[in-house]
Amino acid sequence: MTVLERIKKLRDERGWSDYRLAKEADLSQTTLSNLYKRGNTPTIPTLEMICGAFGITLTQFFSDGDEIVSLSVEQRLLLEKWQLLSPAKRGRVMAYIEGCLTD
């Protein structure tokens, strides 16, 4: 299954339109439409935003379904909060985390 097929499958499972996915992922609908029309693979940052909208990690996105990936309560809460952040705020959070890792 290609990346675009996986996105479509996850979207269909939720009964979402492209418009809804774009809104949930904080992407323009044009960005999503262009991915489908051109058959392009999304960039990692775009795919992270799409996964965030679905409430899954990149690992879960690329798992083949046989692999069980479970999140702790803290991880799930973190992902839920992450989805509410703007891209600029996500960048600040990532910078903070990176800073914490180098201390």
Task: Show the DSSP H helices in 2-64 as ranges.
Answer: 3-14, 18-25, 29-38, 44-54, 58-62
Give residue 48's pLDDT: 93
Across all residues in the chain, what is the average pLDDT? 87
CA–CA gap between residue 72 and residue 80 (Å, rounded): 12
Can you list the domains of the chain with their CATH numbers? 3-102 (1.10.260.40)
20 exposure class (CB count in 10 Å sphere: 0-12, 13-18, 19+) = middle
Work out the average pLDDT over 82-101: 88
CB 76 within 8 A of CB 84: no
pLDDT in tens, 15-63: 999 999 999 999 999 988 888 898 888 999 999 999 999 988 888 888 8
* Residues 71, 76, 69: CA angle, nearest 5 degrees: 25
Whole-model pTM? 0.62
